Chain A
Amino acid sequence: DGGITQSPKYLFRKEGQNVTLSCEQNLNHDAMYWYRQDPGQGLRLIYYSQIVNDFQKGDIAEGYSVSREKKESFPLTVTSAQKNPTAFYLCASSSQGSNEKLFFGSGTQLSVL
């Protein structure tokens, strides 16, 4: 079955540590997105990518980095510069941009030790 897979489901970060969240899709979608969700809050866009080897900052990119070396993969690194990383992170993809529906992964809960 086609879909979008995020891993791990739960992740813990120590102070000063960088961590990477995985996002893989086998839907052959060009566009991929990373969102952050805090309890009781909506979705905030971190980064998005329209095509391989290209990505743009969203509303809250500071303290995060991404890469898009392959069409099916869009990993997110939460760097030590992100001082409040505890949140639920969602990856999504879309075939033709935002006027088509987004497919979401099941999310990664990141917590700080």
Chain B
Amino acid sequence: GNSVTQMEGPVTLSEEAFLTINCTYTATGYPSLFWYVQYPGEGLQLLLKATKADDKGSNKGFEATYRKETTSFHLEKGSVQVSDSAVYFCALGSPGGSYIPTFGRGTSLIVHP
């Protein structure tokens, strides 16, 4: 079945540091891949998405590239801010009519001034 593996957190960085959060997946077919962000006490919101191999999703300085050969979708940002502190979830959809997305366990990011 489908699965998503994220790196364990928390990830602790100083402001302006480079961020990488690793995400690998196992899936059948060609699912869309997503990164969601959750700020404290709130629901998840979509950060970025990629729908096919070699697609790069980007938003608010964050980027992730759909790598089919390595089954990965790592999240990166060149210079993090304190306001980026949140929990980040990698997720994959499922084509062909399945209605159950697969989420990773989430990675907490803490950015210090």
Q: Which residues does A use to contact B, with CB under 8 Å?
A: 6, 31, 40-43, 45, 48, 50, 58, 90, 92, 94, 97-102, 104-107, 109
Q: How far is the CB of A49 from chain B (nearest CB, A)?
A: 9
Query: Residue B93 contacts which of A40, A42, A99, A107 (CB distance < 8 angstroms)?
Result: A99
B89 within 8 A of A: yes
User: Contact between B43 and A106 (Cβ–Cβ < 8 Å)?
Assistant: yes
User: Contact between B89 and A98 (Cβ–Cβ < 8 Å)?
Assistant: no
Known: A41-B105, A43-B89, A100-B32. A90 touches B95 (CB 8 A): no
Main secondary structure of the interface of A (DSSP, over half): loop
Known: A31-B99, A43-B89, A48-B100. A99 touches B31 (CB 8 A): yes
User: Contact between B100 and A45 (Cβ–Cβ < 8 Å)?
Assistant: yes
Known: A42-B89, A42-B104, A45-B100. A99 touches B95 (CB 8 A): yes
Known: A42-B103, A43-B89. A97 touches B43 (CB 8 A): no
User: Contact between B100 and A98 (Cβ–Cβ < 8 Å)?
Assistant: yes
Interface size on B, residues (CB 8 A): 26
Known: A104-B43, A106-B42, A107-B41. A98 touches B105 (CB 8 A): no
B44 within 8 A of A: yes
User: Contact between A90 and B99 (Cβ–Cβ < 8 Å)?
Assistant: no
Interface residues in B67-106 by Cβ distance below 8 A to A read: 89, 93-95, 97-106
- Which chain B positions have C-beta within 8 A of A94? 99, 101
User: Contact between A99 and B94 (Cβ–Cβ < 8 Å)?
Assistant: yes
- Which chain B positions have C-beta within 8 A of A102? 36, 44, 46, 101
User: Contact between B32 and A104 (Cβ–Cβ < 8 Å)?
Assistant: no
User: Contact between B98 and A97 (Cβ–Cβ < 8 Å)?
Assistant: yes
- Which chain A positions have C-beta within 8 A of B44? 43, 90, 92, 102, 104
Apart from the given pairs A6-B43, A42-B104, 9 other A-B contacts in the complex at a CB distance below 8 Å: A42-B103, A42-B106, A90-B44, A97-B94, A97-B97, A99-B31, A99-B93, A104-B36, A107-B41
